[in-house]
Amino acid sequence: MPRTNFQELLDAGAHFGHLKRKWNPKMAPYIFMEKNGIHIIDLHKTVIKIEEASNVMKQLARAGRKILFVATKKQAKDIVAENAKSVNMPYVTERWPGGMLTNFPTIRKAVKKMNTIDKMLTDGTFETLAKRERLQVTRQRAKLEKNLGSIADLNRLPSALFVIDIQKEMNAVREANRLNIPVIAMVDTCCDPTPVDYVIPANDDAAKSISYIMGVLCQAVAEGLSERKLEKEKEGTEEKENQQDNVKDLSGKKLRTRKSAGQHEAPAGGENDTPAEGAKSESAVKDEPKEVRSQKPVAEPAAPVEEPVADSGKKKGNVKENEPAKESQADSAEV
């Protein structure tokens, strides 16, 4: 089901474009007709593009990424700031600081400077400064808060940029294109949609139109954040269950080892009891009558085992060789 419909956009006045003489020919696919010298935007295509952009923003929020909202127009400042705060996203509603994306480390240094001034206020070191120095520090803090206070939590480059009126915010769009950061923008009939990745053709001058589209997109971001929170809670419960299962397995293994130790001890006790049984059998044999003892077979002693002689063959050969010598000695004695 789409997040918006034709009638709601029509009531918000999102279909009004600029004068015909101010139009950009590249916006021709999104123009429905011309009436009284004013181009009328095709809201059916606007509904499709809003759905596409909201899905992208929802996926980014679900992945824990940041989306930077940019709108410095007078009629869009308060609306964008309010909606961005509701979903805890960074935004720029004052002058776009040049190099905010391409020279991001320098911007981070300015934000750290603001944090150090805040730390001085809490530590009490601010009170030790001279009156003139305190006045300079407070003015510097106010200036940093005005320009960079809304991006104080932006620790790395944003994953996407949402822009209202790309003609006025051309510097932001160019920096995002240079760094390959996707751009989502409300594009009017007088703008060039080429540098924008996700075009939302709509009236970017009417406050009602801006507030309606911003509300739809921020609702999608809020859904992504809630899904991310649920996933984290689910992972936490699964980890706890796994830990409990591991503890149970360890306790079961300990019990098994104790049982096995008891089983090994049992035969040892039986072996200790065997001499007593042997003693009882000897006493019983002594008490038996002599006739019974004589009838019992007596075990024969085991025959001694003869060890093999290594040079047995040589000895036998020597005996055979000596026998003819003995016969010759006997013959000589007879003669």
What local confidence, expressed as pLDDT, does residue 300 receive? 53
Split at pLDDT 50, 70, 90, the class of 310 is very low
Report the distance separating Cα 70 and Cα 232, nearest Å: 30
Closest CA to 188 of 215, 220, 163: 163
- Out of 86-95, 241-250, 271-280, least confident range: 271-280
> For residue 77, with 0-12 CB atoms within 10 Å meaning exposed, 13-18 middle and 19 or more buried, which class applies?
middle
pLDDT of 259 strictly over 70? no
Domain 1-98+158-251 matches domain 102-156 at the CATH topology level = no
Highest mean pLDDT among 67-76, 267-276, 321-330: 67-76
Contact 18, 38 (CB under 8 A): yes
Q: Which helix (H) or strand (E) holds 33?
A: strand 31-35
Q: Give the DSSP per-residue string, 282-322.
A: HHHHHHS-HHHHHHSPPPPPPPPPPPPPTTHHHHHHHHHHH
Split at pLDDT 50, 70, 90, the class of 320 is very low
Q: What is the pLDDT of residues 21-45, one digit of tens each?
A: 889 999 999 999 888 889 999 999 9
Q: What is the pLDDT of residues 172-216, one digit of tens each?
A: 999 999 999 999 999 999 999 999 999 999 998 999 999 999 999
Site of tokens 């206070």: 149
- In CATH terms, is domain 1-98+158-251 a member of 2.40.50.140? no
Phi and psi, residue 37, nearest 5°: 80, 10
Phi and psi, residue 158, nearest 5°: -70, 160
Report the distance separating Cα 275 and Cα 56, nearest Å: 86
The domain spans of the chain are 1-98+158-251, 102-156
Determine how β-strand 38-41 pairs with β-strand 31-35.
Answer: antiparallel
Report the distance separating Cα 311 and Cα 68, nearest Å: 102
Q: What is the mean pLDDT of residues 245-274?
A: 55
pLDDT of 306 strictly over 80? no
Q: Which residues fall within 8 angstroms of residue 226, CB to CB, at 6 or more apart?
A: none
Q: What letter does residue 95 receive in the DSSP assignment?
A: P
pLDDT of 136 strictly over 70? yes
pLDDT of 159 strictly over 50? yes
Return the CATH number of 102-156, one of 2.40.128.130, 3.40.50.150, 1.10.287.610, 3.30.160.70.
1.10.287.610
